[in-house]
Structure 1
């Protein structure tokens, strides 16, 4: 079945994790493009402020405080969207939190609770969205936000990587089942690279030094762009940053080499040179601070993702590459 999705300015979008980082940026971008928004997160005050901000600028948005680790709460979110707008057209599973610590140090209760949010929260949201799209019989988009660490594991964030691995596998299985039955659902998995959000400040830290991205870091707007493209155009995967695509393609081909690179680079590149926040000062069990788009990283900050642009316009990107090839060939011939 070839699916046709509504333009963004005709859509109702349910967005989890909307109070900060990627979710906050995506909400603002979607509102600018005319979408109606159902905003979900645990931080009720930040969520309400965001909804009021969007309404003050002529948009339409409601705030539905939601802890996605609860299936009942996620089902209530779906019901609230339908009660307010009559339907929803895109469901974005974005809520997440991380833990920085070794595999043998992080407590089992912490691991379980993080899985409740990062994996089970997306499962609950996916099932609610699929049920609605099937019942109404009109195509809708499900967008799950994964991670480059869902394509290849990393030390230091073992629990987060494991939850994202589970999410990637589950999303793929769901997509195949829906395609097999010709269900009216577009399923997209977004693979962000390292993104400049408060993710590091919200994480529970078992480290002596503060969690932080070091190295190439992409803006949350690049992820928001990928999410909203997938909301309007059926797409299997969206990679944010070439680093994310490189991990997905090259790591399975050179697994031992990739492991060695990760062992050398991931330990120093996941923390800053300052004392870590208290282990109790995080958003694992309680809402984190809201309305912040960016974090406190010290990496090489990119202004956007050319790889996202290339995925949005593959023929144009292919033509550009071919053009560069012709130019390079001509220059070589001139030298000869």
Structure 2
């Protein structure tokens, strides 16, 4: 059930990366439902077109910008296209990302490089490119980075993924400080496991997903909370609340937490 409505989203153009499925898809639908215009970025043109049909069937509006890969060159070309075509952008939601769960010993360096390119460098590139655009306007603008509780509460077999999310959280916190005197809001969204296709790649044998399925967040609930927070002065969104509490205790008592929650941490 959707709670409340954020009227400031109405008629705002908001970029959503990784919009073809999962959290990004639900965020795009929620923006459109509230009268906003989601600018959809993903690698699958077919899925973006399907999402466009769904949004338009519900009297919404959206624009799509497929991208072959989240390489620096492809992103630069795409940003130029968006700026030339759309003229005014009000918000950016860096949602594109993926994970691969492996021990450090088994970590594939190509997987690690790809995770950093998609999870970190792409988000930084989009943020840096649109930052001057956001700062030149007096009205509110917003950058939202979908991060992860893994950035705060790392567990075994998530070294590459946790490192990428830790980097993105660090970038987000610095960007917020550097723009605090402006009308730009910068928000990190730190999530526990969400029931999406993320685990098709991250957890190929399904063991972790099976272990945590009862705790998984619904992407619709995440999307509703994110969109209701757009253009407000929200520093962080942390879901679920008890995992955020756990991450605070972990920072205070890391050795104790690792000892007490070893069986929970080892679920991958």
- TM-score if structure 2 supplies the norm length? 0.89
- Cα distance in 2 between the residues matched to 1:104 and 1:195: 27
Q: 2:194, 2:217 within 8 Å by CA — same for their partners in 1?
A: yes
Question: Structure 2: any 5+ residue segments left out of the alignment?
Answer: 1-5
CA distance in 2, matches of 1:113, 1:185: 29
Note the C-alpha offset of 1:178.
Answer: 1.4
Q: Describe the superposition over 1:196-232 as per-residue Cα deviations: whole angstroms up to 9, x where unpaired.
A: 1111013374xx6555253311111222123212313
- 1:197 match: 196
Q: Equivalent residue for 1:266?
A: 265
Q: How has the CA–CA distance of structure 1 residues 36 and 80 changed in structure 2, closer, same or farther, with 3 Å as cutoff?
A: farther
Q: How many residues align?
A: 261
1:165 maps to which residue? 166
1:13 partner SS: strand
Name the counterpart of 2:64.
63
Q: 1:213 to 1:145 in 2, by over 3 A?
A: farther
Check 1:226–1:73 CA distance in 2 against 1; reply closer, same or farther (3 A cut): farther
1:6 Cα offset (Å) = 7.5
Q: State the Cα distance separating 1:174 from its structure 2 match.
A: 1.3
What do residues 76-135 of structure 1 show as CA deviations (whole Å, max 9, x unaligned)? 443343344321111000001100110110111211111111111111121123122123
> Is contact 1:141–1:185 with CA below 8 Å preserved after alignment?
yes
**With structure 1 as the length reference, what TM-score do the two structures score?**
0.72
* Matched ranges for 1:291-330 at <5 A: none
Mapped contact 2:98–2:115 kept (Cα < 8 A): yes
- How far apart, CA to CA, are the structure 1 residues paired with 2:144 and 2:169? 12
Superposed structure 1 runs of 4+ greater than 4 Å apart: 208-211
* Residue 93 to residue 262, structure 1, CA distance change in 2 (3 Å): farther
Instruction: Give the corresponding residue for 1:143.
Output: 144
CA gap 1:68/1:244 in 2 versus in 1, 3 angstroms: farther
Q: 3-state SS of the aligned residue for 1:155?
A: coil
Cα distance in 2, alignment partners of residues 17 and 38 from structure 1? 11
**Whole-angstrom CA distance in 2 between matches of 1:194 and 1:19:** 19
| Deviation, structure 1 residue 67 | 5.3
